């Protein structure tokens, strides 16, 4: 079993008719994901990739029974696309769009309150349940079905850790890219809670980085709940210069705050196992498993 997605997840693509939406929708279908429709205002009633296209998410949900949406809408309109899906009561929305304005995301977060939607992203590589469902832009070259959950802020490090856990014979139950922006949907703590409740996940790997407070919130969750499943953490950016953005909006330390060492110490003191570097993450998890 996976969390968030599974083999019966029905997916629509907001922005499917664009170049990027077309490319990744084709890849998702080839992987076996049940993509059922696209949404593009003004193109309702047409077909693309041999699937129906609707003007609105609400119409697509009624016609197809979709339970998840992936957003390939340019940054200026991405928040409106997410809000449309939230208003249509879409259970899961995955937004891969980068550079969504922060004030736009504050509007999205406000709309999420009390809604039936779980949001992953923006600036996310997506959600992958190996062999079952791919909603995102991640590589599937090294993924293997297994029992390790991965939650990450970094797309490139996710690819590395997926390859490591596969090579170590551990595999992955679900991989979630929570996104690298400062304001986003699901975070480490919420995903940890879902993995701890999943009977087919034996351990969880957190891939964090400087900036924000995701790692501290994860540490609070581990400290409060004392999970029986091992939690292995890697926090990237120990040598990053202060007050300089590293890669994206969430990776920034200001006046010595939010840097790697306090995050590492918070996770270690809470009970998480700290991988000393990216090369040792899978081995640290392997040793931690019963």
Residue bearing tokens 């060492």: 261
Residue bearing tokens 């809000």: 83
Residue from 123, 127, 104, 74 nearest 251 by CA: 123
42-46's contacts with Cβ under 8 Å and 24+ in sequence apart are 43/17
Strand order of the β-sheet with 118-120 is 47-48, 51-54, 34-39, 10-14, 68-71, 92-95, 118-120
Please state, as a whole number, how many other Cβ atoms lie within 10 Å of the Cβ of residue 147: 17
From CA 165, how far away is CA 179, in angstroms rounded?
21
- Catalytic site positions: 248
């Amino acid at each position: 079993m996976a969390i968030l997605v599974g083999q019966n997840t029905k997916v629509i693509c907001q922005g499917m008719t664009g170049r990027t939406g077309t490319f990744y929708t084709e890849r998702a279908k080839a992987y076996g994901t049940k993509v059922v429709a696209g949404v593009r205002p003004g193109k309702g009633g047409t077909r693309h990739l041999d699937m129906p296209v609707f003007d609105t998410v609400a119409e697509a949900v009624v016609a197809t029974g979709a339970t998840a949406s992936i957003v390939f809408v340019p940054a200026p309109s991405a928040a409106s696309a997410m809000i449309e899906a939230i208003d249509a009561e879409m259970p899961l929305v995955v937004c891969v769009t980068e550079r969504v304005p922060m004030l736009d995301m504050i509007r999205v977060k406000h709309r999420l309150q009390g809604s039936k939607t779980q949001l992953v992203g923006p600036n996310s590589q997506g959600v992958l349940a190996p062999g079952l469902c791919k909603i995102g832009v991640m590589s599937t070259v090294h993924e293997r079905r297994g029992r390790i959950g991965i939650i990450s802020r970094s797309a490139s490090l996710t690819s590395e850790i997926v390859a490591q856990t596969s090579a170590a014979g551990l595999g992955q139950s679900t991989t979630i890219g929570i996104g690298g922006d400062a304001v986003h949907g699901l975070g480490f703590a919420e995903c940890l809670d879902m993995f701890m409740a999943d009977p087919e996940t034996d351990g969880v790997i957190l891939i964090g980085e400087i900036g924000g407070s995701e790692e501290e919130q994860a540490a609070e969750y581990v400290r409060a709940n004392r999970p029986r499943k091992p939690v292995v953490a890697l926090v990237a950016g120990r040598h990053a210069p202060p007050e300089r953005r590293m890669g994206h909006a969430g990776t920034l330390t200001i006046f010595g705050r939010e840097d790697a060492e306090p995050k590492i110490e918070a996770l270690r003191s809470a009970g998480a196992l700290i991988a000393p570097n990216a090369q040792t993450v899978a081995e640290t998890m392997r040793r931690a498993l019963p």
